[in-house]
Chain A
């Protein structure tokens, strides 16, 4: 039982052990804080004794003594304040150093995590790991150093000082301090659950608002305004109810503590008063004792809060550990050594997700410089196929080779420099158009950027803008249409002159004429570059040398340059009849 309790107490300090890694070179600060805390606490507790002594001097009409003690009060307070500065600043220094180092470490791991890691996470969740969870553990470390350690010293020395005055006072102290710690802990525990729900409802409020605003046309189109209002009101109501629950707890526990303090002070007042009344002793020690009580009790009640901080910190550290573990981290292996040719070969490639087989023993090859189309129904694994080429995932079976070399034996950076992809959903970063185009090759010259934009058929548009290539995009910048974004992304991909360019349905918002012009330019200006165009739109196939069709996990050749269809019996180009644009 008692060893169990001991373990629990140690557990509270677990986050401190975790933090040592990140403050190892600043251990001296830790020692400085602890020593300063001892000095500051003793000095602080000495002040009530001095006040008591001053009262006694007044009683004895000893003005000189009074002056002496009064000046001593200021001097001792100044000493305590100076060391308190070291405690506060030092613990912040340690806490901030910790969070700085940890945050860098988390981020370094995060950007190197593999694609499958990100699939299981939401942006909000990862954000909260790098901000809130780190904050929670930092908070605990800072508060432990600046509050918990001084409080422990305060209890020890406070008890000692009280014992020097009167053992009854010390006994009252021993009885009331644990009671206050306990009340504080119970309160924090109970309150925490409600805060968690409040946070949950707050998040839901955010989501509902976002959906409501973005979905306004849909909501009005279906006359769902009242439905939406009542949905939101029920969320704000739950939020309200939780707040009232917290208020009820605060109302009880927060005010119970001063009541305990008041009770203890009354006992001391009446007992101490009565004994000095009959013994005609000075009231100075009584005043000092009450003062020590009131000095120690606020810190004591904060221990409960620190225990909860520690729980939050431990939970946060656990989540951070998921990120900084080596699991899912890609080995980038910077280096040279690219294969000479860009022939692509798929051999018996299979890939499943869960129980669903997405690609089933796929074999085909694309020779360097070819312009190939891959088509297929919605959600048949076209994007998966593309992701395998960049090794965002690895196939379950089979192999993919580039220039005869298995891509798994190539350093990732080399592979990804050789193969450039324009995905379905375009991400432009906040910054200028120029920065966005040059993202993959920051050293590119303006001429190179311009010629990439030319090929992507976006240069004419950029030049109509006031600030041309220096126009800001992203949240603060201009709003680009889907087609414009896609063309910028194409320029970005071809700027680095990759050997293989993959267009993953990346021209869906570009109008057909521009699209065809772009393909023509790519084909004529970037000879030797292998182009894989993944789409179900037929118009995009005009420049394709060969077109493959992906269906139920297997691939068939639909037609090649000569217009020949393969033997599989698929004789029709999808969407041919009456559907030229599909």
Chain B
């Protein structure tokens, strides 16, 4: 199969678009549009990049959720990382974190002052960096959802087996399902359905959404990241809504299994335990993060360096919190596109490639005609 084009076929896209319009029309006139939250940043980006919003009827509203790990990383975490870097520790990070504002500064500024910060594409590169610098402490900035956490756990496991002692992780891992509970009951949001992430679901499995789906009677449809996947997912949501159903529908079953990736889940359970986690713009959510288990604590940078991750402060004008909760569109933020741009981001949603503000700035502006 040609994976580059099979899921972007314009003819199929046209058919799905027509079907979505037809199904939405059957819903009849309502006071408010059907609100679907796409939880994952990669969905947000794919929706914008493919111009999907412009293909939907005005009675369907796609709301971007908090599923960009960079965007939900609190400023206090960045502050702690900068303190580590300034003290001579080598940091290893994904590039997106460099420009995320801490309380007063960014990692990019720390690097320009001379801090040793290595940008990598894969966690395994941190492993090699630590091996090459056996006399130096190397800290990997461990942010991400289940998709990213699993390969980091694999890297830590290997470091443990080989006996690498100069590598540790500053964790700010997040889990998707606990956030969905909070979003589902938010009266201001009034969500009608979740479009659930593709890659996260490949790890956690379709069954992981059952509790959210049942507790809040909210349709959850797992969709891939290709345009046809997304349109098909929206169609699936409309069908559930029209039939007054609320179930977990795995439309990405070419990748996602009901029980997820067993090997990855076992590894995660072996290394990490659930913990409360601070989500930028949302606050502390119980059991929504992962921290090292006691027997893995030598890899925990917070313990190794006796580091305290404080709350930190954000620019009070920044509306990223409301954007992350889907309460406002990026274009409603007074800083959007003026003081805050991808070149000079003020909030994290403008920094990350998968941030909602960045997606809107790059692909949708203040309104693209349909």
B partners with A: no
**Residues of B near any A CB (own CB < 8 A):** none
**Residues of A near any B CB (own CB < 8 A):** none
